[in-house]
Structure 1
Amino acid sequence: MKKGLLLGFALLSLIACNDNEAPKENLHLTGNVKGLSQGKLYIKKFEDTTLVAIDSIIIKGNSHFETTIPLKNPEVFYLFLDRGQTNSIDNNLVFFAEPGEMNIETSLKEFYAGAKITGSKNQELFDEFNSFKSKFNDENIAIIEKRIENSTNFNQQRADSIEEAYGRLVKRKYRYTANFASTHGEYEIAPYLALTEIPDINVAYLDTIAKHMSREVAASKYGKILRKHIYDTKKETLSNKE
């Protein structure tokens, strides 16, 4: 009897250890929207091509929030603040969710611009990429301003120079994105960036990104979509040649 009890406890301990080591399949999200005393937060994600709400959080008096969402693989979510006003970019906060513990610290005043998100390696890489993208956007705005200025007193030589600068800028963005994705193939950010930032790049670059993906990433949501996109692109190219 005593041996049976000892064996039972040993098995229970082994199961408990295995449970602790098992892959996490939930996102436990905590956060704070400083200055928000009353309102509603929605967590959304894309299903096919539609942005749908998967959770909602009511804020009453306490600006801190907490929720748990089923999540097996890293995926991009959107934290939406319902201000009761017209939707704007500062009502939507994009974040790369991962199973496990994540935290979002932001404020009512700078909901999007002032957000600090922790607990996700994909998010860290997303922030790094977005820092580059922000510089690209600034340079792009400068080029647009030059186009507008040139349109009031048009000069063909100046127009050609502006378009050449724009072409170089786009090439730099595409090359940087492709290299960034290839370098980080062990994270879901790689196929995500390929699909959202450079889907129309030469398929050879997409192939390179796909080849650098780890087995787990290749089997993830974005990994599968990227491989299908590559297949469809190659199929369409062959069809156009016939």
Structure 2
Amino acid sequence: MKKIFTIVIITLLVACSKSDNKTGNVELTGNVEGLKQGKLYIQQLKDTNLVIIDSIIISGESNFETKFQIEEPQMLFLSLDRGTTESIDNSIHFFAEPGKMKIETTLQGFYANAKISGSENQKVYEKYLKIKTNLNDENLVLLAKEIKNNVIKNAAITEEINNKRDKLTVRKYLYTANFALVNPKYEVSPYITLTEIPDANLKLLDTISKTLDPKVAKSKYGKRLNEWIKERKSTEEK
């Protein structure tokens, strides 16, 4: 009986350690299949530095749960401390929103196998990433042709590759701009504008900024986009 009582107490203590009495408007649960020991960090980009806003200790179980506070929807990073390993697959970027979110992945494919749910911005962002992946694949095909052509140095092939690459770049810019314009209700729109096409035509950037919903325009990325446009105008329109 005493042994059973001790086991119950230990179980309760372990259960309490999972939540760690944390509070916040984001409730994040998840699983890293295959991970038995390690640390997870929730990080936020401030200026050019990643700042830890929460940490999770994994010991014995691959499931985790935590809570943390964010002021508005924004891109965060779930990073894995593998200890002595030199793997570069250690970070998942996800568009966090207040509410309940879930991230499921594996130790072997921490970023590649990640499945994220509970965020409308994340859903929209993943739609954008699918098209971006297709464009990246086309660029890789061109790169492979370029490497082969470096041996034979055929001028006609070089010109063909350059023309196709230029057209691919234009497609990326047009697709990104259009995607931002048709999704003005989501904070991900000014985010992809800033991260993917910051050097786009000023009139185009201005149009995207003015199309944003008032709430999004006042968000972290909405305000940053407006500031970026003003910075460019001050230097380019002199």
Q: TM-score scaled by structure 1?
A: 0.86
The 3-state SS of whatever aligns with 2:237 is helix
- Tell me the C-alpha RMSD between the 2 structures: 1.0
Q: Deviations over 1:4-38 (max 9, x none)?
A: xxxxxxxxxxxxxxxxxxxxx71111111111111
1:86 corresponds in structure 2 to 86
The 3-state SS of whatever aligns with 1:192 is helix
The 3-state SS of whatever aligns with 1:150 is helix
| Larger mean Cα displacement after TM superposition, 43-52 or 221-230 | 43-52
Q: Deviations over 1:127-174 (max 9, x none)?
A: 111111111111111111111111100011111110000000010011
1:172 corresponds in structure 2 to 171
1:111 corresponds in structure 2 to 110
Give distance in 2, aligned partners of 1:36 and 1:187: 34
How big is the shift at 1:207? 0.9
Letter of the 1:111 counterpart? F
Runs of 4+ in 1 over 6 A off after TM superposition: none
Give distance in 2, aligned partners of 1:230 and 1:86: 40
Letter of the 2:86 counterpart? T
2:20 corresponds in structure 1 to none
1:35 corresponds in structure 2 to 34
2:6 corresponds in structure 1 to none
How big is the shift at 1:72? 2.1
1:222 corresponds in structure 2 to 221
Q: TM-score scaled by structure 2?
A: 0.88
How big is the shift at 1:87? 4.7
Query: Kindly, what percent of the aligned residue pairs are identical?
Result: 49
Q: Deviations over 1:32-88 (max 9, x none)?
A: 111111111011111011112111100001111111111121010010111122251
Give distance in 2, aligned partners of 1:237 and 1:216: 29
The 3-state SS of whatever aligns with 2:134 is helix
Give distance in 1, aligned partners of 2:55 and 2:206: 39
1:237 and 2:236 aligned = yes
Letter of the 1:79 counterpart? L
Letter of the 1:145 counterpart? A
Structure 2 residue ranges without an equivalent (≥5): 1-23
Structure 1 residue ranges without an equivalent (≥5): 1-24
Give distance in 2, aligned partners of 1:238 and 1:173: 25
Structure-to-structure mapping, 1:76-225, within 5 angstroms: 76-84=75-83, 85-88=85-88, 90-225=89-224
Paired residues in the alignment total 214
